[in-house]
Amino acid sequence: MKSLYESLKIGNLIGKYLTDKETEEESVELKKLLEQKENGNDLFNTISNKKKIIDSIDEFERYDIKEGWAIFIESLSKQSRKKMFFRWKVAASIIIIVTFSSLTFNYFSENKIDTIEISKQILPGVPKAFIELSNGTKFDLQDLDEQQQKKLAQETGIVVKNNIVRYSETGHQLKNASEFLTLVVPRGGEFQLILSDGTKVWLNAESRLEYPSKFTANNRLVKLTGEAYFSVTKDSNRPFVVNLQNMDIEVLGTEFNVSAYNDDNLIKTTLVEGKVLIKNNSNPVLKDQILSPGEQLSFDKNKNTTEVNKVNVYEYIAWKEGRFVFEHRTLEEITKILGRWYDVDFVFKSDDLKNSYFFGEFLRYEDISNVKKILNMTDTQIEYKQINRTIEISKK
Q: Provide the pLDDT confidence category of residue 178 given band limits of 50, 70 and 90.
A: low
Q: Confirm whether 222-229+240-319 and 322-395 share one CATH topology.
A: no
CB neighbours (10 Å) of residue 338? 23
Is residue 266 within 8 A of residue 299, CB to CB? The reply is yes
| Residue 323 vs residue 374, higher pLDDT | 323
Separation of first and last alpha carbons in the chain: 45
Nearest alpha carbon to residue 295 among 276, 321, 318, 281: 276
Q: Where are the domains of the chain?
A: 2-119, 123-216, 222-229+240-319, 322-395
pLDDT exceeds cutoff 60 at 357: yes
Q: Is the pLDDT of residue 332 over 50?
A: yes
Task: Answer whether residue 112 shows pLDDT above 50.
Answer: no
Which listed CATH number (3.10.20.440, 3.55.50.30, 3.40.50.720, 3.40.50.620) goes with 322-395? 3.55.50.30
- Per-residue confidence (pLDDT) for residue 70, from 0 to 100: 55
Q: Which residues contact 85 (CB under 8 A, 6 or more apart)?
A: none
CATH number of 222-229+240-319: 2.60.120.1440
pLDDT band at 374 (very low <50, low <70, confident <90, very high): confident
pLDDT tens column, 40-70: 565 566 555 555 555 555 555 555 555 555 5
Lowest-confidence segment of 98-107, 228-237, 307-316 by average pLDDT: 98-107
- The whole-number average pLDDT for the span 370-388 is 79
* Burial of 38 per CB tally in 10 Å (0-12, 13-18, 19+): exposed
> How many whole angstroms separate alpha carbon 314 and alpha carbon 380?
27
Mean pLDDT calculated for residue range 248-252? 92
Q: What is the pTM of this model?
A: 0.69
- The mean predicted confidence, pLDDT, of the chain is 78
> What does the pLDDT average to over 218-237?
94
Do 148 and 139 touch, CB atoms closer than 8 A?
A: yes
pLDDT of residue 233: 95
Residue 102 has pLDDT above 50, yes or no: no
CA neighbor of 374 nearest in space, from 363, 387, 390, 389 = 363
> Are the CB atoms for 382 and 375 separated by under 8 Å?
yes
